[in-house]
């Protein structure tokens, strides 16, 4: 039997989406999807407790968490016990999120029969929990069938997201990002449905306090990429721009503090909010072009998602700036002063790279430690994988093609200024 295809493997759909990503698309975006969001301290103890009976009739909760984040579930368990809920913790998550893993989660949820899913973890955990949610309610579907504008009618389960990192944004987006290992090399697939935004998000500051510095750094750049690309996309609206810009400003203000000092709860609070605002922005704009490159590096060189996003931001900014003036608005909104468009762009790129330097982040693929010989051998594969990544479809630059992907990789390897 021929392998089923995702909506984004259809060249007609790609052409359509790519044309919608261009400047002509401005003012065509007509919605802003959000959810109920709580943020701060003692949210789980206080507000969540009062919500529980509204969220579940059966008084049964299925907690999805990771191998490490299970240690953070204590406050949730405490509240469930106090509310006299039955609950089951499922943390059988495999590192690269193959779709098969979701089926095991669905079996466990079927066995336990809950009407409330509580996902406690980083982006991977939240995404796998969303996958479980979809297939638990719609066992007749497979994930290939889930498409952005087609209703899937989820109504049996309420979903609560409690992120334990400040970056992935899965708690606020309509996307479920998974790895499909049936491709060679495996592919990152973004399943998008307006129905898979969690019903409730809890941004509890203490949940991100124990993130190791490496995760603070990676997830922070992931958030910065979401916000920046949401802003420069032609799909950006006044709603998304407000969220994206505030997120970018908060990240520039608090990222370094959050990275240096785990005890700096102010910085953790604002970075957690910034990450969530960036997620609203990206979910209501278009996916990030630098995500296509970061996904590719993850799959081929096993690099960190967020860090990769950060490294590619300056290059993608320059690439998109050749055909779009959104970078000018961003530079001006960030208080940059210059006397020419070129100077605005240079100063904007420099601002991002200065932040990267402060956070000991490589500015090039070479400094990231990727062997040059291996990189060159894999260049064609890298370009092809990035070009086929769903995130690249929404490129704000209309002439984006395989050749451009190759050049962006080459220029990012050496740290060259984009001149094409
Ligand atoms: Fe991301």
Per-residue pLDDT tens digits for 224-277:
999 999 999 988 999 999 999 999 999 999 999 999 999 999 999 999 999 999
Q: Check whether residue 264 and residue 399 sit in a common domain.
A: yes
* Separation of CA 187 and ligand 1 centre (Å): 15
202 and 349 both lie in a single domain: no
153 plus 238 within the same structural domain = no
What is the secondary structure of 21-41 as a DSSP string?
Answer: TSGGGTT--------EEEEES
Say if 5 falls within a structural domain: no
Q: Are residues 82 and 127 in the same domain?
A: yes
pLDDT digits (tens, 9 = 90+) for 177-212: 888 887 777 888 888 899 999 999 999 999 999 999
- Cα–Cα distance between 286 and 91 in angstroms, integer? 31
> What would the pLDDT profile of 31-52 be if each residue is shown by its tens digit?
899 999 999 999 999 999 999 9
Ligand 1 center–CA 277 separation, angstroms: 13
Return d(Cα 321, Cα 326) in angstroms, integer.
7
Please classify residue 134 by burial: count the beta carbons closer than 10 Å to its beta carbon, then call 0-12 exposed, 13-18 middle and 19+ buried: buried
CATH number (domain holding residue 250)? 1.20.1090.10
Ligand 1 mean position to 419 CA, how many Å? 26
Which has the closest alpha carbon to 6: 105, 137, 145?
Answer: 145
- Let me know whether 175 and 62 are in one domain: yes
Residue 91 lies in a domain: yes
Instruction: Give the integer Cα–Cα distance in Å for 61 and 55.
Output: 10
Kindly state whether residue 110 falls inside one of the protein's structural domains.
Answer: yes
Percentage of residues in the chain with pLDDT exceeding 70? 98
pLDDT at 349 over 90: yes
233 and 185 part of one domain: no
* Spacing, Cα 279 to ligand 1 middle (Å): 9
Nearest to 48 by CA among 158, 167, 211, 169: 158
40 CA → ligand 1 middle, Å? 23
Distance from Cα 191 to the centre of ligand 1, integer Å: 14
Distance 392 CA to ligand 1 centre (A): 13
Tell me, in angstroms, the distance from the centre of ligand 1 to residue 288's CA.
Answer: 8
The Å distance, Cα 402 to ligand 1 centre, comes to: 22
Examine the domain organization and report whether 170 and 238 are in the same domain: no
Instruction: Determine the distance separating the centroid of ligand 1 and the alpha carbon of 96, expressed in angstroms.
Output: 15
- Residue from 21, 27, 30, 29 nearest 323 by CA: 21
In a domain, 305, yes or no: yes
Q: Are residues 218 and 195 in the same domain?
A: no
Tokens of 148: 């952005």
> What angle (nearest 5°) sits at the alpha carbon of residue 133, between those of residues 190 and 116?
140
Q: Which residue has the tokens 């990192």?
A: 165
State the distance from the centre of ligand 1 to the C-alpha of 54, rounded, in angstroms: 31
> Residue 2 C-alpha to ligand 1 middle, in angstroms?
31
CA of 307 to the centre of ligand 1 (A): 10
Which of 193, 217, 188, 384 minimizes the C-alpha distance to 311?
Answer: 217
Q: How far apart are the first and last CA of the chain?
A: 43
21 occurs within a structural domain = no
Distance 118 CA to ligand 1 centre (A): 21
pLDDT digits (tens, 9 = 90+) for 136-155: 999 999 887 888 888 999 99
Separation of CA 237 and ligand 1 centre (Å): 20
Q: How many residues does the chain have?
A: 420
Distance of CA 18 to the CA centre of its chain: 20
b/e per residue, 165-187, with b = 16+ CB within 10 A? bbbbbbbbbbbbbbbbeeeeebb
Q: How far is the CA of 226 from the centre of ligand 1 (A)?
A: 6
Residue 113 CA to ligand 1 centre (angstroms): 32
DSSP letter assigned to residue 195: G
Whether 95 has a pLDDT exceeding 70, the answer reads no
Q: Alpha-carbon distance 160 to 52, whole Å?
A: 10
Distances (CA, A) of 343 to 327, 336, 339: 11, 10, 7
Cβ burial of 96 (10 Å; 0-12, 13-18, 19+) is middle
**Residue 366 Cα to ligand 1 middle (Å):** 22
Under a CB-based contact definition with an 8 Å cutoff, are residues 99 and 143 in contact?
A: yes
Average model confidence (pLDDT) for the chain? 93
Whole-number Å distance, alpha carbon 321 to ligand 1 midpoint, is: 21
Q: What is the CA(168)–ligand 1 centre distance, in A?
A: 5
The range of the structural domain enclosing residue 407 comes to 211-414
Residues 82, 160 share a domain = yes
Tell me: pLDDT of 394 over 60: yes
Q: How far is the CA of 347 from the centre of ligand 1 (A)?
A: 24
Rounded to the nearest angstrom, the distance between the alpha carbon of 292 and the centre of ligand 1 is: 10
Task: Give the pLDDT band of residue 3 (cuts 50, 70, 90).
Answer: low
CB 211 within 8 A of CB 166: yes
The domain boundary residue, chosen from 208, 225, 249: 208
The pLDDT assigned to 388 comes to 87
CA of 80 relative to ligand 1 center, distance in Å: 31
Determine the Cα–Cα distance for residues 393 and 174; give it in Å rounded to an integer: 17
Same domain, 167 and 245: no
Q: How many domains does the chain have?
A: 2
Cα(185) to centroid(ligand 1), Å: 20
Distance between CA atoms of residues 57 and 36, nearest Å:
19
Answer yes or no: is 14 within a domain. no
Which CATH number goes with the domain that contains 96?
Answer: 3.40.50.1970
The residue among 184, 208, 232 that closes a domain is 208
pLDDT range class, residue 373, cuts 50, 70, 90 = very high
Model-level pTM? Answer: 0.94
Count of CB atoms within 10 A of residue 158's CB? 22
**18 part of a folded domain:** no
- Whether residue 193 is found in the same domain as residue 215: no
197 and 215 belong to one structural domain: no
Residue 391 Cα, ligand 1 centroid: separation in angstroms?
A: 10
Strand 187-192 relative to strand 175-180: parallel, antiparallel, unpaired? antiparallel
What's the gap in Å between 122 CA and the centre of ligand 1?
11
Q: How confident is the model at residue 93 (pLDDT cuts 50, 70, 90)?
A: confident
Answer yes or no: is 25 within a domain: no
Among 208, 238, 266, where does a domain finish? 208
CA of 305 to the centre of ligand 1 (A): 7
CA–centroid distance, 49 to ligand 1, in Å, is 30
| pLDDT at position 115 over 60 | yes
Taking 90 as the threshold, does the pLDDT of residue 99 lie above it? no
């Amino acid at each position: 039997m021929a392998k089923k295809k995702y909506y984004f493997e259809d060249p007609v759909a790609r052409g359509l989406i790519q044309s919608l990503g261009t400047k002509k698309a401005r003012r065509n975006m007509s919605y802003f999807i959000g959810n109920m969001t709580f943020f701060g301290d003692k949210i789980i103890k206080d507000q969540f407790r009062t919500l529980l009976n509204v969220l579940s009739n059966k008084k049964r909760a299925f907690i999805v968490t990771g191998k490490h984040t299970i240690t953070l579930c204590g406050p949730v368990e405490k509240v469930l016990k106090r509310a006299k809920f039955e609950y089951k913790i499922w943390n059988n998550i495999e590192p690269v999120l193959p779709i098969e893993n979701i089926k095991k989660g669905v079996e466990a949820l079927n066995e336990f029969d809950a009407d409330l899913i509580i996902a406690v973890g980083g982006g991977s955990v939240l995404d796998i929990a969303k996958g479980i949610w979809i297939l638990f309610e719609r066992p007749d579907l497979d994930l290939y069938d889930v498409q952005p504008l087609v209703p899937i009618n989820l109504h049996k389960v309420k979903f609560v997201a409690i992120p334990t990192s400040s970056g992935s944004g899965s708690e606020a987006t309509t996307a479920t990002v998974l790895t499909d290992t049936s491709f060679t090399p495996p592919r990152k697939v973004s399943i998008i449905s307006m129905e898979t935004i969690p019903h409730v998000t809890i941004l509890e500051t203490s949940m991100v306090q124990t993130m190791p510095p490496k995760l603070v750094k990676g997830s922070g750049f992931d958030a910065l990429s979401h916000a920046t690309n949401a802003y420069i996309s032609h799909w950006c609206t006044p709603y998304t721009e407000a969220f994206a810009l505030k997120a970018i400003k908060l990240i520039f203000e608090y990222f370094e503090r959050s990275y240096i000092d785990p005890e700096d709860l102010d910085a953790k609070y604002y970075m957690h909010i910034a990450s969530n605002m960036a997620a609203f922005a990206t979910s209501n704009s278009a996916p990030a072009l630098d995500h296509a490159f970061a996904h590719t590096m993850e799959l081929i060189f096993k690099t960190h998602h967020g860090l990769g996003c950060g490294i590619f931001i300056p290059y993608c900014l320059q690439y998109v700036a050749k055909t779009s003036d959104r970078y000018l608005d961003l530079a001006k909104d960030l208080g940059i002063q210059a006397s020419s468009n070129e100077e605005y762009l240079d100063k904007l790129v420099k601002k991002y790279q200065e932040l990267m330097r402060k956070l000991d982040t490589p500015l090039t693929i070479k400094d990231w430690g990727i062997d040059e010989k291996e990189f060159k051998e894999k260049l064609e594969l890298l370009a092809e994988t990035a070009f086929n990544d769903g995130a690249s479809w929404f490129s704000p630059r209309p002439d984006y093609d395989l050749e451009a992907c190759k050049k962006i990789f080459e220029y990012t390897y050496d740290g060259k200024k984009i001149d094409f």
